[in-house]
Structure 1
Amino acid sequence: MKGKIRNQIITIMLMTTSMIASGQNKIENPFGLVYRDAITENINGEVNIHPVNYKLNDIEIAANVYTPANYDPSKSYPAVVVAHPNGGVKEQVSGLYAQHLAESGYIAIVADASYQGASGGEPRNVDKPANRIEDIHGMADFISQYKGVDAEKLGLLGICGGGGYSLAAAQTDKRFKAVATLSMFNSGVVRRNGFLNSQVNTIQERLKQASEARAQEAAGGKILYAGVANPTDEEIAAITTDLYREGYTYYYRTHSHPNSTFRYTMSSLIDLMAFDASTNMGLINQPLLLMAGDKADTYYMTEDAFKKATGTTEKELFLIPGATHIQTYYVPEYVEQAMTKINEFFGKYL
């Protein structure tokens, strides 16, 4: 069984691919949003969305700021930074939760990671932990200066891979007064050991591939990518792990977006495979909420991080009954449960 999973994951995660633009759903939403009940226009007195751009280390970052109903820039609001999943963009699940946060009275920001989505940076789809963590610091920089934001009431919500990077960012960035994750994914551990530790035996081989890819880049050669090609319905159905089977359905069928792709530069593995979001978890002294579906095959990552969070006395592990990892992204009853808990948590600490 483990060998079967390993072979599937290797096939899925190590294919060289091109940017996937074909086969995507046509996006009717004027803001590019692909989640259910997304904002379609800014109406006075209701939650509004504000596309913004700002510079971070000379890279143009594309972000959306969600403001509460009857937002008045002369008043004071708590704010939340939302970090998107690996391969995701601000128009998907992170935007959904940002919109719900605005509905609850928060100003929320979600930005495409540098080198990804609508943000700048070359080569495309570089995916290094240091960049993703800096993106979170950068969102905090920008939203803290936004009109109406009370910078002393700043929270952080990370989803999937964004959850792991949020834990890493919060270890040292004490502007975040409360930290929450949903379906946390420890990207470095999975890139190194494989999902469910299915690639432990190929670590050195993959590091060699990454090193050779970097050498090729440095010599001006072709950029090599790891990731996936556009899978068929049959290929998706044959995947045995919930995370990847449901993930491909979400990202390539029901909530597809042309800026969203799983591909990343092969050379990024040099940095990714040395990363562990749970290292130095003891540095987090802020209130901490870790949420996951109790059916999620990724739960082991949340559980590990929670056990290592010894620096805070205000921590909670919240399980959403019946939910898998991807179902927390869009299934209304699970999203509602997550948001109820998030509102309780941020309401207490912000």
Structure 2
Amino acid sequence: MPENQFGLVYADALTENVPGQVNLKTVSYLNTYGIEITANLYFPAGFDELKSYSAIVVAHPNGGVKEQVSGLFAQKLAEAGHVTLAFDAAYQGASKGEPRQTDRPANRVEDIRAAIDYLLTVKGVDAKRIGALGICGGGGYTIEVSKSDKRIKAVATISAFNTGRVRRNGFKDSQVDTILDRFNQASAARAKYATTGEVDYIGELLTHRTHFTQEQLEQIPAALYRDGTQYYGDTHYHPNSQSRYTAMSLQDLMTFDAEDHAELINQPLLMITGDISDTRYMTDSIFDKATGTDDKERIYIKGANHIETYWKPEFVSQEAAAVIRFFGEKLA
């Protein structure tokens, strides 16, 4: 991907602010925990703060940053006339917070709520027309927030990832018999940090762009992780994007589950996933348990795996059309 002044690495990204077109402004604000959040605010073409606009918060995947897929969809929604905000989660990307790559559900939930708080201060934003879009892990956390934050009038996800279920049970529930081992690992990591200040991490740290051979990729069995290694480490690499998370975060992650009380979602709901994606089961589980709304829709993108929904033009075009239609109708 060509570099640009905004650091965006997705296809057809903005390279400059041109009057009369979609414009981008990097902003910062404090969440209620006092952590400084950095975000990209997208304004639709011809934005006039004296007019009234719907606004949409876009939450990025686990390990992702605002310059990748969340920015892609924020830009596309801005092109459709919405004010949008793609932010870096606390402890991630350009946002503050130590230890780095702490990944606790309470933090991620607060990130989305704080993003809504900020949007309400933007002149021209209609507080009664706020939407939320979450991608991958951001999708699971957007589901969680929507249960209780009724400022969100419409909620959508793309390739939703239920982080708590996976950290607890393993991918595809393949490690249920070792749950206690992970709790012990998290507890030991917490004790180490308390006594030495040293942080244990899980997951490879991406420090530079790496080109992976087909042979290397084929050694990774799950399509999610195989495609993710290529996306984050090569084709859509960004220096702020890190695949690791603190081991002590498992104490909070493993007791979280986006499926719990999904019936509390009463807003219009759209969930999109690839029909052959190895994470489809997470979208299906949440969608089926979201019985509190009759206004819900599930879309399967034919032939798409999880990571492919982030960037493949033939899939992105279908997803963009769906979320633009959805928010256009529900936030009218």
- 1:206 and 2:187 correspond: no
Instruction: Give the whole-Å Cα distance in 2 for the aligned partners of 1:255 and 1:124.
Output: 21
Greater relative CO (CA pairs within 8 A, separation 6+): 1
1:188-242 Cα distance to aligned partner (Å, 9 max, x none): 0001111111221211111101001001111133111111145753433311211
Q: Secondary structure at the match of 2:196?
A: coil
Instruction: Give the whole-Å Cα distance in 1 for the aligned partners of 2:205 and 2:291.
Output: 41
- 1:114 and 2:90 correspond: yes
Q: Which residue of 1 aligns with 2:220?
A: 239
Contact 2:205 2:242 in 1 (8 A): no
- 1:158 and 2:134 correspond: yes
Q: Which amino acid aligns with 2:200?
A: L
Q: Which residue of 2 aligns with 1:19?
A: none
- 1:145 and 2:121 correspond: yes
Q: Secondary structure at the match of 1:81?
A: strand
- 1:34 and 2:9 correspond: yes
Q: Which residue of 2 aligns with 1:21?
A: none
Instruction: Give the whole-Å Cα distance in 1 for the aligned partners of 2:108 and 2:237.
Output: 22
The Cα of 1:54 is off from its aligned counterpart by 0.5
Q: Which residue of 1 aligns with 2:106?
A: 130
Q: Secondary structure at the match of 1:171?
A: helix
Among 296, 306, 312, the alignment partner of 1:315 is 296
> TM-score of the superposition, structure 2-length normalised?
0.96
- 1:46 and 2:27 correspond: no
- 1:168 and 2:168 correspond: no
Q: Which amino acid aligns with 1:32?
A: G
Among 220, 224, 236, the alignment partner of 1:255 is 236
Instruction: Give the whole-Å Cα distance in 2 for the aligned partners of 1:105 and 1:187.
Output: 31
Q: Secondary structure at the match of 1:181?
A: strand
Q: Which residue of 1 aligns with 2:273?
A: 292
Among 67, 73, 80, the alignment partner of 1:97 is 73
Contact 2:140 2:163 in 1 (8 A): yes
State the aligned residue count: 325
- 1:69 and 2:50 correspond: no
The Cα of 1:260 is off from its aligned counterpart by 0.3
Q: Which amino acid aligns with 1:45?
A: G
Q: Which residue of 2 aligns with 1:180?
A: 156
1:96-150 Cα distance to aligned partner (Å, 9 max, x none): 0000000000000011000111000111110000100100000000011111111
Among 84, 87, 92, the alignment partner of 2:60 is 84
Unaligned 5+ runs, structure 2: none
> TM-score of the superposition, structure 1-length normalised?
0.91
Contact 2:130 2:152 in 1 (8 A): yes
- 1:340 and 2:316 correspond: no
Q: Which residue of 1 aligns with 2:259?
A: 278
Instruction: Give the whole-Å Cα distance in 2 for the aligned partners of 1:343 and 1:229.
Output: 35
Instruction: Give the whole-Å Cα distance in 1 for the aligned partners of 2:216 and 2:181.
Output: 26
Q: Secondary structure at the match of 1:38?
A: coil
Alignment of 1:9-20 (within 5 A): none
Instruction: Give the whole-Å Cα distance in 1 for the aligned partners of 2:91 and 2:197.
Output: 19
Instruction: Give the whole-Å Cα distance in 1 for the aligned partners of 2:183 and 2:117.
Output: 34
Q: Which residue of 1 aligns with 2:311?
A: 330
Unaligned 5+ runs, structure 1: 1-24
Among 305, 321, 330, the alignment partner of 2:286 is 305
Instruction: Give the whole-Å Cα distance in 1 for the aligned partners of 2:82 and 2:28.
Output: 20
Q: Which amino acid aligns with 1:171?
A: K
Instruction: Give the whole-Å Cα distance in 2 for the aligned partners of 1:28 and 1:183.
Output: 27
Instruction: Give the whole-Å Cα distance in 2 for the aligned partners of 1:295 and 1:133.
Output: 29
Instruction: Give the whole-Å Cα distance in 1 for the aligned partners of 2:233 and 2:116.
Output: 30
Instruction: Give the whole-Å Cα distance in 1 for the aligned partners of 2:92 and 2:46.
Output: 32
